[in-house]
């Protein structure tokens, strides 16, 4: 495993790989790696000649400075983990390396950034587009791997590739969960013991909601979920919606010929957690 700190060094290395006809798999991360991240890396290793993992806590996608400051950083541990799963290359740039000057680029994300997470975190997805587009241009990957836990982000990255006319296959990988159903996230380590005990309620409620498709309309399920969280102390529901998986438009009835996904965001003790479940 080779670790790169500068763009020009990584770029030169990857150019030689592309010239020889090799395929490149890219796994962008913000570090604090868990089994969910590792499932992406393992798939990339399986499907490509060379796998690049990036570790960069991107400041432009944080609309809350305290959230950026509190984000876990475990670089030494991350590198040790990556070495055990046959990662070829790791890119660990500084903020100055990625943004030598302030990035003011604004992307037209087709309104995908104005719903759900976009309503709660203004500017978040433009920041995601800023860093992802730079990493794509730097590495020119054959495939890039993103977890389905960040479902809205996955939809937006696919849109980004399309509008930038990049020939990159965006691979969505299944959510990896703890034994009690909690979706794995780098933020989970910030939960206290009592908060962690509350967190399985998120996935449990999603599953119960999906099971009521035959008796409730989408609007009825939205109301039911809202009421369930209202009755649950210690967890604050930010939003729950059932959307189709391309334009993120709210589903009105079950007869619509679209893939339907239930998306949720909650706060537990000031820690923000998201999850989703296929409702088809």
**The dihedral sign for the CA sequence 19, 40, 124, 152:** positive
pLDDT for 267? 97
Residue 159 designated active-site: no
The arithmetic mean of pLDDT across residues 215-226, rounded, is 98
Q: What is the DSSP letter of 176?
A: P
- Contact yes or no for 57/127 (Cβ under 8 A): no
pLDDT for 244? 97
pLDDT for 2? 97
- With bands split at pLDDT 50, 70 and 90, how would you rate the model's confidence at 204? very high
Percent of the chain with pLDDT over 70: 100
> What φ, ψ does residue 107 adopt, rounded to 5°?
-105, 145
Percent of the chain with pLDDT over 90: 96
Give per-residue pLDDT as tens, 160-203.
999 999 999 999 999 999 999 999 999 999 999 999 999 999 99
Give per-residue pLDDT as tens, 131-145.
999 999 999 999 999
Among the listed residues 13, 34, 37, 159, the single catalytic one is 37
Give per-residue pLDDT as tens, 2-39.
999 999 999 999 999 999 999 999 999 999 999 999 99
pLDDT for 190? 94
Give the rounded distance of the alpha carbon of 182 from its chain centre. Answer: 15
Walk me through the domains of the chain, giving residue ranges and CATH numbers. 2-173 (3.40.50.620), 186-278 (3.30.1300.10)
169-173 sheet: strands from edge to edge: 2-4, 89-91, 50-55, 24-29, 143-147, 169-173
Name the pTM for this structure.
Answer: 0.96
Note every long-range contact of 188-191, with CB atoms under 8 Å and residues 24 or more positions apart, other chains counting.
Answer: 188/34, 188/273, 189/32, 189/72, 190/70, 190/72, 190/271, 191/268, 191/269, 191/271
- How high does pLDDT run on average in the chain? 96
Q: Is residue 236 pLDDT above 90, yes or no?
A: yes
The arithmetic mean of pLDDT across residues 55-62, rounded, is 96
The arithmetic mean of pLDDT across residues 100-123, rounded, is 95
pLDDT for 148? 98
Give per-residue pLDDT as tens, 267-276.
999 999 999 9
pLDDT for 64? 87
Largest CA distance in the chain: 60
Beta carbons within 10 angstroms of residue 100's beta carbon: 9
Q: Is residue 63 pLDDT above 90, yes or no?
A: no
């Amino acid at each position: 495993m080779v670790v790169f700190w500068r763009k020009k060094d990584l770029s030169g290395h990857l150019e030689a790989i592309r010239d020889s006809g090799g395929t490149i798999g890219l796994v962008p991360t913000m570090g604090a790696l868990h089994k969910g991240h590792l499932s992406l890396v393992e798939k990339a290793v399986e499907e490509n000649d060379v796998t690049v993992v990036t570790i960069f806590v991107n400041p432009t996608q944080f609309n809350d400075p305290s959230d950026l400051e509190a984000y876990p950083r475990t670089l030494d541990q991350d590198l040790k983990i990556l070495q055990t799963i046959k990662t070829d290359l790791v890119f660990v740039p500084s903020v100055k390396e990625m943004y030598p000057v302030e990035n003011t680029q604004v992307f037209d994300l087709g309104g995908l950034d104005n719903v759900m997470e976009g309503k709660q975190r203004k500017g978040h997805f433009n920041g995601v587009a800023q860093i992802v587009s730079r990493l794509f241009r730097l590495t020119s990957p054959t495939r890039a791997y993103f977890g389905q836990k960040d479902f809205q982000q996955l939809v937006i990255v696919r849109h980004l590739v399309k509008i930038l006319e990049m020939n990159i296959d965006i691979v969505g990988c299944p959510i990896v969960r703890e034994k009690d159903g909690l979706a794995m996230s780098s933020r989970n380590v910030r939960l206290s013991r009592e908060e962690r005990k509350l967190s399985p309620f998120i996935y449990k409620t999603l599953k119960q909601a999906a099971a009521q498709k035959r008796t409730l309309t989408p609007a009825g399920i939205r109301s039911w979920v809202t009421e369930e969280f209202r009755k649950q102390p210690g967890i604050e529901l930010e939003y729950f919606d059932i959307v189709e998986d391309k334009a993120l438009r709210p589903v009105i009835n079950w007869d619509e010929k679209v893939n339907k996904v239930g998306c949720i965001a909650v706060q537990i003790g000031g820690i923000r957690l998201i999850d989703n479940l296929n409702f088809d």
